Chain A
Protein backbone atom coordinates (compact mmCIF):
# COMPACT_ATOMS: atom_id res chain seq x y z
CA UNK A 1 0.00 0.00 0.00
CA UNK A 2 1.28 3.40 -0.95
CA UNK A 3 2.00 5.59 2.05
CA UNK A 4 -0.33 8.25 3.39
CA UNK A 5 -3.34 7.32 1.28
CA UNK A 6 -6.54 8.72 2.74
CA UNK A 7 -9.78 8.81 0.75
CA UNK A 8 -12.38 11.46 1.49
CA UNK A 9 -15.88 12.04 0.15
CA UNK A 10 -18.33 14.89 0.55
CA UNK A 11 -22.01 14.34 -0.15
CA UNK A 12 -25.33 15.19 1.54
CA UNK A 13 -26.71 12.82 4.21
CA UNK A 14 -30.26 13.13 2.96
CA UNK A 15 -31.94 13.80 -0.39
CA UNK A 16 -35.34 13.73 -2.05
CA UNK A 17 -36.14 10.76 -4.30
CA UNK A 18 -34.79 11.29 -7.81
CA UNK A 19 -32.70 14.29 -6.78
CA UNK A 20 -29.40 15.00 -8.45
CA UNK A 21 -26.75 15.36 -5.78
CA UNK A 22 -23.23 16.64 -6.19
CA UNK A 23 -20.44 14.44 -4.88
CA UNK A 24 -16.87 15.55 -4.32
CA UNK A 25 -14.07 13.08 -3.67
CA UNK A 26 -10.40 13.43 -2.85
CA UNK A 27 -7.72 10.89 -2.10
CA UNK A 28 -4.24 11.66 -0.83
CA UNK A 29 -1.88 10.04 -3.29
CA UNK A 30 1.44 11.08 -4.81
CA UNK A 31 0.42 10.01 -8.32
CA UNK A 32 4.04 9.48 -9.35
CA UNK A 33 3.82 9.86 -13.13
CA UNK A 34 6.74 7.66 -14.20
CA UNK A 35 8.03 10.61 -16.22
CA UNK A 36 10.21 12.20 -13.55
CA UNK A 37 13.85 11.44 -12.86
CA UNK A 38 15.68 11.48 -9.56
CA UNK A 39 18.95 13.28 -8.87
CA UNK A 40 20.97 10.51 -10.54
CA UNK A 41 18.94 10.58 -13.73
CA UNK A 42 17.04 7.37 -12.98
CA UNK A 43 13.37 7.35 -13.80
CA UNK A 44 11.19 7.31 -10.71
CA UNK A 45 8.81 4.38 -11.31
CA UNK A 46 5.17 5.11 -12.00
CA UNK A 47 2.83 4.71 -9.04
CA UNK A 48 -0.65 6.11 -9.54
CA UNK A 49 -4.28 5.46 -8.81
CA UNK A 50 -5.42 4.26 -12.24
CA UNK A 51 -9.17 3.92 -11.77
CA UNK A 52 -11.91 5.53 -9.69
CA UNK A 53 -15.45 4.17 -9.46
CA UNK A 54 -18.61 5.27 -7.70
CA UNK A 55 -21.63 2.99 -7.31
CA UNK A 56 -24.98 3.40 -5.62
CA UNK A 57 -26.77 0.23 -4.46
CA UNK A 58 -24.63 -1.75 -6.89
CA UNK A 59 -25.37 0.44 -9.93
CA UNK A 60 -22.64 2.48 -11.56
CA UNK A 61 -22.59 6.27 -11.24
CA UNK A 62 -19.20 7.01 -12.74
CA UNK A 63 -16.12 5.04 -13.71
CA UNK A 64 -12.97 7.04 -14.45
CA UNK A 65 -9.88 5.63 -16.09
CA UNK A 66 -7.03 7.73 -14.76
CA UNK A 67 -3.68 8.36 -16.45
CA UNK A 68 -0.46 9.83 -15.00
CA UNK A 69 -1.67 13.27 -16.13
CA UNK A 70 -4.11 13.36 -13.21
CA UNK A 71 -2.71 15.66 -10.51
CA UNK A 72 -1.45 14.35 -7.20
CA UNK A 73 -4.19 13.98 -4.59
CA UNK A 74 -6.80 13.22 -7.27
CA UNK A 75 -10.03 15.16 -6.96
CA UNK A 76 -13.31 14.39 -8.69
CA UNK A 77 -16.64 16.14 -8.69
CA UNK A 78 -19.71 14.66 -10.37
CA UNK A 79 -23.49 14.32 -10.03
CA UNK A 80 -25.50 11.27 -9.02
CA UNK A 81 -29.18 10.36 -9.02
CA UNK A 82 -30.55 8.79 -5.84
CA UNK A 83 -33.80 6.90 -6.50
CA UNK A 84 -34.03 5.45 -2.98
CA UNK A 85 -32.17 5.23 0.33
CA UNK A 86 -28.99 3.27 0.08
CA UNK A 87 -25.26 3.20 0.05
CA UNK A 88 -22.65 4.78 -2.15
CA UNK A 89 -19.45 2.79 -2.56
CA UNK A 90 -16.37 4.64 -3.80
CA UNK A 91 -13.27 2.72 -4.88
CA UNK A 92 -9.82 3.87 -5.93
CA UNK A 93 -7.61 1.29 -7.68
CA UNK A 94 -3.86 1.66 -7.09
CA UNK A 95 -1.18 0.53 -9.56
CA UNK A 96 0.16 -1.78 -6.82
CA UNK A 97 -3.13 -3.70 -6.76
CA UNK A 98 -4.56 -2.11 -3.63
CA UNK A 99 -8.14 -0.88 -3.70
CA UNK A 100 -9.13 1.88 -1.30
CA UNK A 101 -12.84 1.71 -0.56
CA UNK A 102 -15.12 4.14 1.20
CA UNK A 103 -18.88 3.82 1.62
CA UNK A 104 -21.50 6.39 2.62
CA UNK A 105 -25.21 5.94 3.38
CA UNK A 106 -27.76 8.39 2.17
CA UNK A 107 -31.39 8.57 3.33
CA UNK A 108 -34.11 9.49 0.89
CA UNK A 109 -37.05 11.09 2.69
Chain B
Protein backbone atom coordinates (compact mmCIF):
# COMPACT_ATOMS: atom_id res chain seq x y z
CA UNK B 1 0.00 0.00 0.00
CA UNK B 2 1.47 3.34 -0.99
CA UNK B 3 0.15 5.14 2.08
CA UNK B 4 3.10 5.85 4.33
CA UNK B 5 3.02 5.59 8.06
CA UNK B 6 3.35 9.37 8.19
CA UNK B 7 0.24 9.81 6.02
CA UNK B 8 -1.68 7.40 8.18
CA UNK B 9 -0.69 9.22 11.36
CA UNK B 10 -1.57 12.60 9.90
CA UNK B 11 -4.98 11.33 8.78
CA UNK B 12 -5.66 9.66 12.09
CA UNK B 13 -4.77 12.78 14.08
CA UNK B 14 -6.91 14.95 11.83
CA UNK B 15 -9.87 12.64 12.11
CA UNK B 16 -9.73 12.46 15.89
CA UNK B 17 -9.76 16.26 15.95
CA UNK B 18 -12.75 16.38 13.60
CA UNK B 19 -14.57 13.80 15.67
CA UNK B 20 -13.94 15.75 18.87
CA UNK B 21 -15.43 18.85 17.25
CA UNK B 22 -18.82 17.25 17.36
CA UNK B 23 -19.48 14.81 14.55
CA UNK B 24 -22.73 13.19 15.62
CA UNK B 25 -22.45 9.42 15.90
CA UNK B 26 -25.22 7.55 14.14
CA UNK B 27 -27.71 5.69 16.28
CA UNK B 28 -28.08 1.96 15.85
CA UNK B 29 -31.39 2.61 14.12
CA UNK B 30 -29.62 4.40 11.25
CA UNK B 31 -27.84 1.13 10.48
CA UNK B 32 -31.16 -0.72 10.70
CA UNK B 33 -32.67 1.81 8.30
CA UNK B 34 -29.83 1.25 5.83
CA UNK B 35 -30.38 -2.50 6.00
CA UNK B 36 -34.15 -2.09 5.57
CA UNK B 37 -33.61 0.15 2.54
CA UNK B 38 -31.50 -2.61 0.98
CA UNK B 39 -33.88 -5.49 1.80
CA UNK B 40 -37.04 -3.53 1.07
CA UNK B 41 -38.18 -4.17 4.64
CA UNK B 42 -37.64 -7.93 4.56
CA UNK B 43 -36.04 -9.41 7.66
CA UNK B 44 -32.77 -11.13 6.64
CA UNK B 45 -32.08 -14.63 7.97
CA UNK B 46 -28.98 -15.05 10.11
CA UNK B 47 -26.00 -16.86 8.55
CA UNK B 48 -24.97 -17.79 5.03
CA UNK B 49 -22.72 -14.75 4.74
CA UNK B 50 -19.06 -14.63 5.67
CA UNK B 51 -17.73 -11.33 6.96
CA UNK B 52 -14.03 -11.32 7.68
CA UNK B 53 -12.83 -8.40 9.84
CA UNK B 54 -9.99 -8.10 12.33
CA UNK B 55 -10.98 -8.38 16.00
CA UNK B 56 -8.77 -5.42 16.80
CA UNK B 57 -7.97 -2.69 14.26
CA UNK B 58 -5.14 -0.39 15.27
CA UNK B 59 -5.98 2.14 12.58
CA UNK B 60 -9.64 2.89 12.00
CA UNK B 61 -8.76 4.65 8.76
CA UNK B 62 -8.01 1.41 6.95
CA UNK B 63 -9.66 -1.69 8.35
CA UNK B 64 -9.36 -4.65 5.96
CA UNK B 65 -12.65 -6.47 5.38
CA UNK B 66 -13.73 -9.38 3.20
CA UNK B 67 -17.27 -10.43 2.44
CA UNK B 68 -18.53 -13.48 0.63
CA UNK B 69 -21.79 -15.38 0.30
CA UNK B 70 -22.32 -18.32 -2.03
CA UNK B 71 -25.09 -17.50 -4.46
CA UNK B 72 -25.34 -13.82 -3.55
CA UNK B 73 -26.26 -11.28 -6.20
CA UNK B 74 -25.26 -8.34 -3.99
CA UNK B 75 -23.76 -7.71 -0.56
CA UNK B 76 -24.27 -4.56 1.51
CA UNK B 77 -21.79 -3.61 4.24
CA UNK B 78 -23.09 -1.38 7.05
CA UNK B 79 -21.37 0.13 10.07
CA UNK B 80 -23.36 0.63 13.26
CA UNK B 81 -21.50 3.60 14.75
CA UNK B 82 -20.07 5.60 11.86
CA UNK B 83 -21.64 9.02 11.15
CA UNK B 84 -23.03 7.51 7.93
CA UNK B 85 -24.03 3.86 8.21
CA UNK B 86 -23.56 2.61 4.65
CA UNK B 87 -20.05 1.51 3.73
CA UNK B 88 -20.26 -0.26 0.36
CA UNK B 89 -22.55 -2.33 -1.85
CA UNK B 90 -20.99 -5.06 -3.97
CA UNK B 91 -23.03 -6.21 -6.98
CA UNK B 92 -21.81 -9.32 -8.71
CA UNK B 93 -22.13 -9.72 -12.47
CA UNK B 94 -22.36 -12.87 -14.60
CA UNK B 95 -18.56 -13.06 -14.85
CA UNK B 96 -17.87 -12.91 -11.13
CA UNK B 97 -16.18 -16.21 -10.26
CA UNK B 98 -17.40 -15.94 -6.68
CA UNK B 99 -19.69 -13.61 -4.77
CA UNK B 100 -16.84 -12.21 -2.74
CA UNK B 101 -14.84 -9.04 -2.40
CA UNK B 102 -12.25 -7.39 -0.18
CA UNK B 103 -11.54 -3.75 0.53
CA UNK B 104 -10.42 -1.41 3.30
CA UNK B 105 -12.87 0.71 5.27
CA UNK B 106 -12.98 3.51 7.82
CA UNK B 107 -14.44 2.89 11.26
CA UNK B 108 -14.96 5.87 13.57
CA UNK B 109 -14.70 3.70 16.69
CA UNK B 110 -15.20 0.22 18.07
CA UNK B 111 -18.45 -1.17 16.75
CA UNK B 112 -20.29 -3.95 14.97
CA UNK B 113 -20.09 -4.25 11.20
CA UNK B 114 -23.03 -5.86 9.40
CA UNK B 115 -23.06 -7.62 6.04
CA UNK B 116 -26.37 -8.31 4.30
CA UNK B 117 -26.51 -10.45 1.17
CA UNK B 118 -29.29 -10.47 -1.41
CA UNK B 119 -29.34 -14.01 -2.75
CA UNK B 120 -30.18 -14.87 -6.34
CA UNK B 121 -33.56 -16.25 -5.22
CA UNK B 122 -34.45 -12.87 -3.71
CA UNK B 123 -34.03 -13.85 -0.04
CA UNK B 124 -31.71 -12.00 2.32
CA UNK B 125 -29.01 -13.25 4.70
CA UNK B 126 -27.05 -11.32 7.27
CA UNK B 127 -24.14 -11.61 9.64
CA UNK B 128 -22.29 -9.20 11.89
CA UNK B 129 -18.89 -8.96 13.50
CA UNK B 130 -17.46 -6.73 16.16
CA UNK B 131 -14.28 -4.70 15.62
CA UNK B 132 -12.31 -2.95 18.33
CA UNK B 133 -10.77 0.22 16.95
CA UNK B 134 -7.75 1.67 18.73
CA UNK B 135 -7.46 4.89 16.69
CA UNK B 136 -10.72 5.93 15.04
CA UNK B 137 -10.99 6.83 11.37
CA UNK B 138 -13.31 9.61 10.36
CA UNK B 139 -15.61 7.23 8.61
CA UNK B 140 -18.91 8.09 7.17
Q: Which residues of A does B touch, CB under 8 Å? A: 20-21, 26, 28, 33-37, 41, 55-56, 59-83
Contacts and interface: CB of A to CB of B under 8 A. Distances in A.
Contacts of A65: 88-89, 91
A81 B95 contact: yes
A82 to B, nearest CB: 8
Given A35-B18, A73-B2, A68 B140 contact: yes
B101 A76 contact: yes
A74 B87 CA distance: 12
Contact of B97 (A36, A66, A73, A81): A81
A55 B3 CA distance: 27
Contact of B87 (A67, A73, A79, A82): A67
Contacts of B119: none
Interface residues of B, number: 43
Contact of B95 (A26, A37, A56): A56
28 contacts: A26-B2, A35-B140, A37-B18, A37-B21, A60-B91, A61-B96, A62-B92, A63-B91, A64-B89, A67-B88, A68-B84, A68-B140, A69-B79, A69-B82, A69-B88, A69-B140, A70-B103, A71-B63, A72-B11, A73-B3, A74-B103, A76-B101, A76-B102, A77-B101, A78-B90, A78-B102, A80-B95, A80-B96
Interface in B108-126: none
A28 B96 contact: no
A70 B106 contact: yes
Given A36-B15, A78-B100, 10 more contacts: A28-B2, A35-B140, A36-B14, A56-B95, A60-B95, A62-B92, A64-B91, A67-B87, A71-B61, A73-B3
